[in-house]
Amino acid sequence: MSQKKIPAAYIRGGTSKGVFFHQKDLPIKREYWDSLFLEVIGSPDPNKRQINGMGGGLSSLNKVIVIRLSDRTDADVDYTFAQVSSSQPLVDYSANCGNLSSAVAPFAIDEGIISPNDGNALIRLYNTNTDKIIHAHVPIRNGKTVISGDYSLHGVAGTGACLKLDYLNPGGAGTNGLLPSGAVLDALEIDGIGFINVSLIDATTPMVFLDAKDLGLFANENPTELDGNTQVKDKLERIRCAGAVKMGMTDRAEKTGMASPRIGICSSPLDFVSLSGNLISKDEQDISTRIISSGDAHRASPLTSAMCLGTACKISGTIPNQLARPHSGETRIANPSGVLSVKSEVFIENNEWKVISASSFRTQRRLMEGAILIPKL
């Protein structure tokens, strides 16, 4: 069987990795993208390893980004994110990837799609999945993105150049608004569980937040421990799907998409040992969380989920707000890899909560470039 070459780059953005394409190199008809991306990643794989593709067996590694020059007046670059399932023939476009968003502007710059001046350039990104604008602040030298730097990101070995992301007006990224149910606290009735309290928040991405202790958890568990607990994973999935219905994302729980909403278990700050073996003190954090993303316990935190959690911490009465250490400014979020800081500008006006922006810092690096080889479809 002959194979087809498609120009591509393999890039780490934040704590995720993915395959990046120019949209012009892909089929014009979007209905052909799913089968192409499944081949690229190596899915479905019943072993969830993606040995025959570029994926890595985890939701944070099974990702694709498609980029083009924007024709919008408020954006320089358009991009579409695709989340590819490990074990099923599914590609989900319902959410954005905050971590890989950090590599979109660098890709566009280094590929010559846009040509900003040297310095700390502001690149305006339009995410087609969520219909939202993100401002990326990117260091540039000699027309190329700066890679080396001294910024350390928990969950990534080494250091790199710091890149700031500002998500503008992030409320309602996948639903009708910041509080899709209209309440800061909802009680969902789940078969086999009973009633459970959740906060349904949509800022950069829709999230279902619950108190870890309501499921006998602590929110400082090792991800492999959570992934191995099929009973807990089943409960979390049923809560997530019920939350999707309550948020108006679907009319039936069984039709809930793979990638959105995500679910986050939360607790007040707790000491724990990170995946790198470092002791993380409760004094270094404002809230602790474990996020389930596309069926996997995330090894760090999806950036959009962290931004949503930081926003929820600022909204009085939500579960994260009740659990978080009182704080102002940035929210320090404990996750399996360490601590991630995010900043959200939240206020209440006429008894309605609003979020102006959500921000954080990432590093990114191009790991490989050339062509993806796939069997001719």
Task: Give the pLDDT means over successive 10-residue stretches in the chain (377 positions).
Answer: 92 98 97 97 93 94 98 98 95 97 98 97 98 98 98 96 98 98 97 95 98 97 95 97 98 95 98 96 98 95 98 98 95 98 96 97 98 87
Q: Specify the number of domains making up the chain.
A: 2
Q: Cα 80 to the chain's mean position, in Å?
A: 13
> Which amino acid, 41?
I
- How many Å apart are CA 330 and CA 286, to the nearest integer? 9
Examine the domain organization and report whether 353 and 367 are in the same domain: no
C-alpha distance from residue 165 to each of 35, 261, 344, 351 (Å): 31, 21, 12, 29
Examine the domain organization and report whether 199 and 348 are in the same domain: yes
The single residue listed with the structure tokens 């919008």 is 72
Position 179 in a domain: no
The pLDDT of residue 213 is: 97
Give CA angle at 41 (170, 39), nearest 5°: 120
Examine the domain organization and report whether 70 and 99 are in the same domain: yes
Q: Cα 12 to the chain's mean position, in Å?
A: 13
The pLDDT of residue 1 is: 66
Position 229 in a domain: yes
The pLDDT of residue 377 is: 62
Cβ atoms of residues 37 and 80 within 8 Å = no
Position 306 in a domain: yes
What is the DSSP annotation of 197-236? EEEEEEBSSEEEEEEGGGGT--S---HHHHHT-HHHHHHH
Pairing of strands 279-280, 331-335: unpaired
Examine the domain organization and report whether 253 and 349 are in the same domain: yes
The pLDDT of residue 48 is: 86
Domain carrying residue 81: 3-170+363-375
Examine the domain organization and report whether 190 and 223 are in the same domain: yes
Position 17 in a domain: yes
Position 286 in a domain: yes
Give CA angle at 88 (82, 93), nearest 5°: 20
Which CATH number is 89's domain given?
Answer: 3.10.310.10
Examine the domain organization and report whether 88 and 197 are in the same domain: no
C-alpha distance from residue 232 to each of 218, 225, 229, 243, 303 (Å): 12, 10, 6, 16, 24
The pLDDT of residue 6 is: 97
Number of neighbouring beta carbons within 10 Å of residue 115: 10
Examine the domain organization and report whether 240 and 286 are in the same domain: yes
Examine the domain organization and report whether 143 and 26 are in the same domain: yes
The pLDDT of residue 376 is: 76
| b/e map 269-288, b = 16+ CB within 10 Å | bbebebbeeeebeeeebbbb
